[in-house]
Amino acid sequence: MKKLIDISESVTPKDLAELYWNMASDEQAEFYAELYEIAGSHKLVLQGLHIREDCKKHSSKALDGFQYMSSCAFKWYDGFSTLEQY
């Protein structure tokens, strides 16, 4: 399902989350490539640290969501590391 947003209004965190979640995984990969182009590696690391701290302040759901989504991106992750394991 595609969602159209009137850019003249502010996009809420819920809107952004729905847009991201409704993307196919290849579109999400493209999103991260674009984010890297915009920010670069150093700024992404710093932003990740800030996000983690704000998630901790916000709620356990926020921190869990951030950690679960991010954890499988690392080669050394001990849990499920390939789709074949599901």
pTM of the model: 0.70
Contacts of 45 (CB under 8 A, 6+ apart): none
What amino acid occupies position 61?
Answer: K
Q: What is the mean pLDDT of the chain?
A: 83
Res 11: pLDDT: 82
What amino acid occupies position 4?
Answer: L
Contact 39, 48 (CB under 8 A): no
- Residue 52, H or E segment: helix 25-58
Res 72: pLDDT: 77
C-alpha span between 30 and 64 (Å, rounded): 24
Q: How large a percentage of the chain has pLDDT more than 90?
A: 52
For residue 33, pLDDT over 90 is answered with yes
pLDDT confidence bin for 17, thresholds 50/70/90: very high
